[in-house]
Copies of this chain bind each other. A is one copy, B any other.
Amino acid sequence: MSQAAIQPIAPIRPVPLDRAYRLLNHGPTVLVSAEHDGHANVMAAAWAMPLDFAPPKVAVVVDKATFTRGLIEASSRFVLNLPCAAQAALTLGVGSDSARTRPDKLAAHGVQLFSPADETLPLVAGCVGWLACRVLPEPHNQQAYDLFLGEVTAAWADARVFCDGRWHFDDAPAELRTLHYVAGGQFYATGASVVVPGAA
């Protein structure tokens, strides 16, 4: 498959499946990646959310016009990658260009892919969380709403910002915070922790 054999330097650790929803619970914008028959691609999606705790499931909207959608439909697999603030331009870039019209899209926006051990899925290097998913076939949702449901089969996170089943953004560099897209090239980073006194 068309992915660079890079060695990510971040401390990437598996996330137990019963904690995987917490990667997505705060509503970050994701990069959707998929691979089929030697072709890999990455697109941006602000419309993604958890759908269940155990087994963990997710929902994501993938437009019919995207090249990535064809890869998902052909392989029945996809990855939700969580980009960080350092990757805002990359995220906007892969969300604006299509591999249909710009075949060098990934290289143009500095996207490097890697696969964890025992996986063949393409993960985006430099992200801070990854959810490997298997499509739960729901043809009506896919056709009528561009809505894909998936079961999470494995998850990983950058231990500098997610460990022991929790995000720890307050203790990490600001460029490792996740992103929340609005419109027109503008994101908000995940912000200050708000803890309700007395909560467990």
A residues sitting closer than 8 Å to B (CB atoms) are: 22, 25-29, 46-52, 57, 59, 61, 85, 88-89, 92, 138, 140-141, 145, 147, 149, 165-167, 169, 174, 177, 179-200
Chain B residues whose CB sits within 8 angstroms of the CB of A46 once the complex forms: 25-27, 49-50
Residue in contact with A200 in the complex, picked from B166, B181, B184, CB distance below 8 Å: B184
Cβ-defined contact, A25 with B182, below 8 A: yes
Q: How far is the CA of A199 from the CA of B50 in the complex (A)?
A: 29
Most buried by B among A27, A51, A200: A27
Cβ-defined contact, A186 with B194, below 8 A: yes
Copies of this chain held together in the complex: 2
**Can you list 5 A-B pairs with a CB-CB distance of less than 8 A?**
A25-B181, A26-B187, A47-B50, A88-B196, A167-B188
Chain B residues whose CB sits within 8 angstroms of the CB of A92 once the complex forms: 196, 199
User: Whole-angstrom distance from the CB of A46 to the nearest CB of chain B?
Assistant: 5
Q: How far is the CA of A147 from the CA of B147 in the complex (A)?
A: 11
Residue in contact with A184 in the complex, picked from B26, B52, B147, B199, CB distance below 8 Å: B199
Q: A166-B182, A194-B188 are in contact. Are A49 and B26 (CB under 8 A)?
A: no
Q: How far is the CA of A141 from the CA of B139 in the complex (A)?
A: 12
Cβ-defined contact, A186 with B169, below 8 A: no
Chain B residues whose CB sits within 8 angstroms of the CB of A165 once the complex forms: 183
Chain B residues whose CB sits within 8 angstroms of the CB of A181 once the complex forms: 25-26
User: Whole-angstrom distance from the CB of A80 to the nearest CB of chain B?
Assistant: 12
Cβ-defined contact, B49 with A49, below 8 A: yes
Residue in contact with A188 in the complex, picked from B138, B174, B190, CB distance below 8 Å: B190
Q: Which residue of B lies closest to A165 (CB)?
A: B183
Q: How far is the CA of A194 from the CA of B46 in the complex (A)?
A: 15
Q: How far is the CA of A111 from the CA of B107 in the complex (A)?
A: 51
Chain B residues whose CB sits within 8 angstroms of the CB of A200 once the complex forms: 184-185
